Structures are given as C-alpha cells and as structure tokens.
C-alpha cells in the first residue's frame, strides 16, 4: 500500500511542477497560435511514445535471438 501511495505522490508532485513550469515559464517561449504548432504539440507525445515502444520491441527481438 505504501508503494502505491508513494507512486501517486510522485505523479502528483511532477504534475504540479509541470503545471507551474508551463504557467510561469510558458511566456518565455512565445509561440505563434497556428494550426501547425497545435498539431505538433498534440502529436509529439504520441510520436515519442511510439518511437520508444518501437525501439524497445527491436531491443527485445534482438535479445530473444
């Protein structure tokens, strides 16, 4: 039970830190409100995760041989 509580606390702290970083650090990086920028920001996490999982599957396939 304590392990799960620690994990939830870590996620909460990281979420708060990221929110504060976006709120106060965001204006330091002025981005234009264009549809291209919005698409990049929306799809970037998905592409990064897909790349990470693909690399993991390649690594797993090489270890199984």
| pLDDT-based confidence at residue 1 (cuts at 50, 70, 90) | low
Domain tally, the chain: 2
CA distance 40 to 26: 16
Are 25 and 50 in a shared domain? Answer: no
Region of 37 (left: φ > 0; alpha: ψ -120 to 50; beta: rest) is alpha
For residue range 21-49, what is the model confidence (pLDDT) as tens digits? 989 988 888 888 899 999 998 999 999 99
Residues 65 and 38 in one domain: yes
Are 17 and 41 found together in one domain? no
- The answer to whether residues 21 and 36 belong to one domain is no
Supply the DSSP symbol for 1.
Answer: -
The answer on 46 and 23 residing in a single domain is no
24 and 45 share one domain: no
pLDDT in tens, 2-17: 788 899 999 999 999 9
């Amino acid at each position: 039970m304590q392990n799960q509580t620690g994990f939830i606390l870590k996620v909460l702290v990281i979420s708060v830190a990221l929110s504060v970083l976006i709120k106060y650090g965001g204006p330091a990086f002025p981005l234009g409100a264009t549809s291209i920028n919005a698409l990049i920001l929306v799809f970037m996490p998905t592409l990064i995760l897909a790349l990470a999982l693909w690399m993991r599957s390649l690594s797993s396939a090489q270890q199984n041989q």
